[in-house]
Structure 1
Amino acid sequence: MASGPNQLSRFNVTALTAGLAFLYLPIVILIIYSFNASRLVTVWGGWSLHWYAEFFHDQAMIDAAWMSLRVGATSATLATILGTLAAVALSRGAGFRGRTLFSGMLYAPLVMPEVITGLSLLLLFVAIDAERGFWTVVVAHTTLTMCFVSVVVQARLGTIDRSLEESAMDLGCGPFRAFVAVTLPLILPSVLAGWMLAFTLSLDDLVIASFTTGPGSATLPIRIYSEVRLGVKPEINAICTLVVALIALVIVAASLVSKISDARGKTAAPL
């Protein structure tokens, strides 16, 4: 009996299962072994929360995690503001001079290798004699994530009926007031989704942060990498599991925000 066009064949199911296993089986194993009571990473010694307690008593790891959260929140906020303004400029200012150059420079980090971005920022900070630390990492992560925010917001702006803004300006609003009163509420879910994406990318970054960080400002990925070079400890599994849980919460929140944005887009889309 032939399968219909919407039915999965045995080959497709096998390929999908193999692909999902390749992506997620290592994460599942990591999560399981984070509850391992044994000091040996590859030897199962029963269920235990001991390594989670070890993490919360490891002040160096706590400081690195707090640094990552501070850098992620600050850089995501700056990237969201700048990325939203850039998206508005590209969507509403289609005819300004230098638009192609501006667009190319804005989206360059999307395709630029992170090692090139990190090295170029390092050379910039050295040239201006900037002390590397918290703010240099924030600037670097803002540079990295701003383009992602711009992509998300610009896509949302393209679905909004511009007659809504024009009607507000016909009723006496200036361009800025019309944006704040009409456009911003409509694109707010996309702005929030862009913030969450920027925060996740900042929290995950190792390469660029390793170029731009300084003494006393190591992020969690840098700290984990330095520990892993000396051998994987069970505590690392616990830390990574907590990061996975945090990222999962951010993804769920971003999905909910995206659904709200799609619902608003259907009501505000041009006929």
Structure 2
Amino acid sequence: MKDLRKQPGFDFLAWFCIFFLYAPIVVLIVFSFNDNRSVVRWTEFSLRWYAAAFDNEGIRNATVVSLQVAAVSTLFATTFATMAALATTRTPPFKGQMAAYAIINQPLMIPEIVTAVATLSFFSIIKQLTGVTGIGYLMLAHTVFCIPFAYMPIRARLEDMNLTLEQAAADLYATPIQVFRKVTLPLLAPGIVAGGMLAFVVSLDDVIITLMVAGPGETTLPVYILGQIRRGITPEINAVSTLLLLLSIVLVSAFFLLGNKKK
């Protein structure tokens, strides 16, 4: 089999793609420190737009909503993902196992706009029947959407874990709950944390589902940024986007470090 890296022009195409992928992000970060209000003309280094972003009440409120939704959805999504991973890896093969994998991972394959429209229609029916409204619908939508993202690293961790310690604990008359609490859970913890971080990033960055499901007063930070961009890009939005990007990089980096952690 030929090594693609040795093909003529491979290095050029690779660097070409990397440049156009990351150059806009670099421009955004650089101009977030620009003292001038213009986003295309550099004058001098300044942190004024970061200060303005922190003083903006709309940004603060949107950040609080984003963190609330992401925290709650991450907690429930990670819990359900852990239960699903245990049910599909710590049991003998059963009829319909592949169907269970497909159902759990289905949100990854369905276009997000389809999921958003379907969720909006479903929640509209529930609201009409019950009269119940609130941010709980947005949290529920994010929870369901984030489950497969948390499920993948947790299941991968379980599949890499040796059953010897669990079997030894069972041989020493430990109950199934004791085996899980004292053996399985500590070994699985890096996978759970990694899955939770990935779910948190996905929820924090989501726009499409939030646009469809969110009600009045439930504007998240990405949706707020999108609304402000329609009025024109400002260095203040660049500053907020840079902070959001930094948070995502930190969490994703931690996810990969935990995912690759040795047993």
Flag whether TM exceeds 0.5 (same fold).
yes
Residues 1-271 of structure 1: matches in 2 within 5 Å? 11-96=9-94, 98-129=96-127, 131-260=132-261, 263-264=262-263
| CA-to-aligned-CA distance 1:190-246 (integer Å, 9 cap, x gap) | 110000000000111000011111111110011111111111111110000111111
TM-score by length of 2: 0.91
Q: Give identity over the alignment, percent.
A: 36
State whether residues 125 and 132 of structure 1, in contact with CA within 8 Å, keep that contact through their aligned partners in structure 2. Answer: no
Structure 1 pair 88–52 and aligned structure 2 pair: CA distance change class (3 A): same
Q: Could you tell me how far apart the structure 1 residues matched to 2:11 and 2:22 are?
A: 16
* C-alpha RMSD over aligned residues: 1.9
CA contact (8 A) 2:29 2:242 kept: yes
Which runs of at least 4 in structure 1 moved beyond 4 Å after TM superposition?
Answer: 5-10
The one-letter code of the counterpart of 1:47 is F
What are the ranges of 5 or more consecutive residues in structure 2 without an aligned counterpart?
none
CA displacement at 1:11 relative to structure 2: 2.6
Q: 1:68 to 1:223 in 2, by over 3 A?
A: same
What is the Cα deviation at residue 253 of structure 1? 1.9
* Count of residue pairs brought into register by the alignment: 258
Structure 2 vs 1, CA of residues 6 and 222 (structure 1 numbering), >3 Å: closer, same or farther? closer
Counterpart of 1:248 in structure 2: which amino acid?
A: I
> In 2, Cα distance between the equivalents of 1:253 and 1:158?
21
Q: Secondary structure of 2:9's partner? A: helix
Rounded Cα–Cα distance in structure 2 between residues aligned with 1:57 and 1:65: 12
Aligned-partner Cα distance in 2 for 1:151–1:132: 32
Structure 1 residues 127-136 or 220-229, which shifts more? 127-136
CA contact (8 A) 2:5 2:11 kept: no
Tell me, in whole angstroms, the C-alpha distance in 2 between the residues paired with 1:110 and 1:252.
21
CA contact (8 A) 1:132 1:212 kept: no
Contact 1:83-1:146 at 8 Å conserved across structures: yes
Q: Distance in 2 between matches of 1:21 and 1:10?
A: 19
Question: Counterpart of 1:196 in structure 2: which amino acid?
Answer: M
Instruction: Give the Cα–Cα distance (whole angstroms) in 1 for the partners of residues 178 and 156 of structure 2.
Output: 22
Q: How far off its partner does 1:7 sit?
A: 8.0
Matched position secondary structure for 1:46: coil
**CA deviation after TM superposition for structure 1 residue 145, in Å:** 1.0
Q: Tell me, in whole angstroms, the C-alpha distance in 2 between the residues paired with 1:132 and 1:201.
A: 24
How far apart are 1:41 and its partner, in Å? Answer: 1.6
Return 5+ residue gaps in structure 1 as ranges.
265-271
Q: For the Cα contact (< 8 Å) 1:37–1:46, is it kept in 2? A: yes
Q: Distance in 2 between matches of 1:76 and 1:59?
A: 25
Per the TM alignment, residue 116 of structure 1 is displaced from its structure 2 partner at its CA by 1.2
Tell me which moved more, 88-97 or 120-129.
88-97
132 and 223 in structure 1: CA distance in 2 versus 1, 3 angstrom threshold = farther
